[in-house]
Amino acid sequence: MKRPVSTAALAAAFILPALHTGNAAAASPVVVRPMHSQGASFRYPRLVAFPNPDIQKRVNALLADREAVRRAARMECLNTFRDTHVKHGKPSFKVAVAASYVSPRYLSLDVRQSEYCGGADREQDVPDPLTIDLAKGAALDWRTVFKPGVLPDPQANANVEPQLLAMYRAHYGAAKKPPTCQSYVKGGTQLKLWLDAKQGLVVSPNLPPAAQVCVADIALTPNELAPVIADRNFLADLKAMVAPTTPPKEGAR
């Protein structure tokens, strides 16, 4: 996925009205910086203003931890390439981070990683998203958002297709992937989820490196998701953020 980022965009902040909690602190805006970051000097964003200082501290600690893990993975990749004495190609480890959804309740990051550490597999633009519940200051547990049976369950019968995967597959044909890809996107497939303020909920299958050509990011609209969402506050937030659109479309990949 190509995301050209200008210098101005790197410095931009996302400012939204805060939740009304009946106190003076609630008048503070929600400010996130940077909105976009990529390259060797990538940064996960931080909450630079938030009504609740304790939650702000917890969220920023979580973001700093994820950033540190990613930087450690970069060093490991470069060291692996060096230690295996690969005689062709160059090591590569690129990360792009975008705050794709910021509301008073949720912060969602679209994180992409491309790497070559030697060997046969080369990862390109692989999603590793993060969505944070700003009311709790913790990563969102998607199981609390959806009704039972909607999300893929590793312990469930792989022959029973979860509803969210069925919704994804209904639009997968429009992605124009090779026919063999249908065998990868099936009952046992786990899904990566994140929010996008322009599109809705983005769904991407978690496939092995050899099947990365089969990955397609499909955005599902709030109206389409409404029947399968248990958390009505989540749905209300999504509807408030995402303007009504035509039927779901493939994401940038």
- CATH number for the domain that contains residue 98: 3.30.565.40
Residue 8 CB partners (closer than 8 Å, separation 6+): none
- Summarize the confidence of residues 100-129 as an average pLDDT: 86
- Summarize the confidence of residues 48-77 as an average pLDDT: 93
117 and 236 housed in the same domain:
no
In angstroms, rounded to a whole number, what is the distance separating the alpha carbons of residues 204 and 173? 14
DSSP SS3 for 69: helix
% the chain with pLDDT above 70 = 76
54 and 125 housed in the same domain:
yes
The answer to whether the predicted template modeling score (pTM) of the entire model surpasses 0.85 is no
Tell me, letter by letter, the H, E, C secondary structure of 39-58. Answer: CCCCCCCEEEECCCHHHHHH
Residue numbers of the domain that contains 171? 144-253
CA dihedral (148, 150, 156, 159) positive or negative: positive
Tell me, letter by letter, the H, E, C secondary structure of 174-230. Answer: HHCCCHHHHHCCCCCCCEEEEEECCCEEEEEECCCHHHHHHCCCEEECHHHHHHHEC
119 and 159 housed in the same domain:
no
pLDDT score, position 185 = 81
126 and 149 housed in the same domain:
no
> Considering only CA atoms, which of 204, 207, 209, 211 is closest in space to residue 251?
204
19 and 129 housed in the same domain:
yes
Number of folded domains that form the chain: 2
pLDDT score, position 123 = 72
In angstroms, rounded to a whole number, what is the distance separating the alpha carbons of residues 89 and 106? 41
- Summarize the confidence of residues 86-98 as an average pLDDT: 78
